[in-house]
Amino acid sequence: MTPCRNGGHLWNCLVFECLNTFKCQFAYCVPWNYVCDGKWDCSHGEDEKYAPVCGNDAICRNLFRCHNTTNTCLHLANLCDNNVDCAFGDDELLCSLKGIQCPESCLCVAFVISCSNRFLMFSKIYPFLYTIIQDSSSTDSYESFFDSFSQSFFYSMISVNMTDICHKRYNKEAVYFDLQKNCLTDLAKGCFGGLTRLKILILANNYISLLDTFSFVGLPQLVLLNLSNNPLDVIREQFLSDCPKIAVFSFNQSSDNVISNIHLKAFGDVQVSYVLTNNFHLCCVVSSGSHCTSLPPWYTSCSD
């Protein structure tokens, strides 16, 4: 027992402040991961009764919650300190971010980097999980960009004049892509192949006119696809093939844009839960179990 072998130092803890640890009432300090761990560490057991951690509504306010737990919380100072405190070691993950210098014209907070500038250049690898780039025309090739952010799981690239996204060197484990307001045109077959964990894909406000057969093949976890405000002209059969979990397909368009050719089997055997559109022709080709938001006007029908 330190510093006094007889514990004498514990008699003067009434006003002693605990740095980055939990203070037992009128007494000593214990590590935060001792709080609500099922055994008393404070003399009166207050470490097992602390509501913000042990209560039904525990949220680890201002603390770090360990993965796969409901009440193991750590002070932020205990992260990346070379001591594993969480059962799965997640308090020591991604510690390479600790010494990262944020690139010029960017804002870096925790696992997120956000950049907004006309000219951006990246020359090294950044271990950010969330990458947000907008209003930039920094490079002719996005290969170097995806090399720099190859560890990201969330990509938001809005208004960056991107003309092609197919088969780039992005992280194949990515779960989110937001590519609104770019210059993407027709999507090649299997354009996003290999993104087996992708759940959300937003391609609104681009220049996509053709959805080819198997455009979105190889996306078994895709849940939401947004293609609103693209000048779609042709939708071929089974463009959503191999997307068994798709729940929401969104396509709203301006009144002067009309799709001239929609294949009767455009959706194939895929049952989309919700089709959010103002184009009733799409509602005519979805499966009967889908909920579609547009109905034919009174003067026409799907058979016309």
Indicate the pTM of the whole model: 0.71
Q: Quick one: the chain helix, strand, coil %, rounded to 5? A: 10, 15, 70
21 has a pLDDT exceeding 90: no
Q: Tell me what pLDDT residue 3 has.
A: 47
Torsion sign across C-alpha atoms 141, 147, 197, 241: positive
Beta bridge pairs of residue 234: 210, 261
Candidates 277, 264, 271; CA nearest to 237 is: 264
Instruction: Please provide the average confidence, as pLDDT, over all residues in the chain.
Output: 81
Q: Tell me what pLDDT residue 246 has.
A: 92
Q: Are strands 248-251 and 274-277 parallel, antiparallel or unpaired?
A: parallel
293 Cβ neighbours under 8 A, 6+ residues apart: 274, 275, 276, 277, 278, 283
Most confident of 7-16, 235-244, 292-301: 235-244
Q: Tell me what pLDDT residue 67 has.
A: 79
| Residue 53: strand, helix, or coil | helix
Give the residue, 138 or 39, on which the prediction is more confident: 39
| Average pLDDT over every residue of 129-155 | 76
Question: What is the domain partition of the chain in residue ranges?
Answer: 1-93
Radius of gyration of the chain, Cα coordinates, nearest whole angstrom: 27
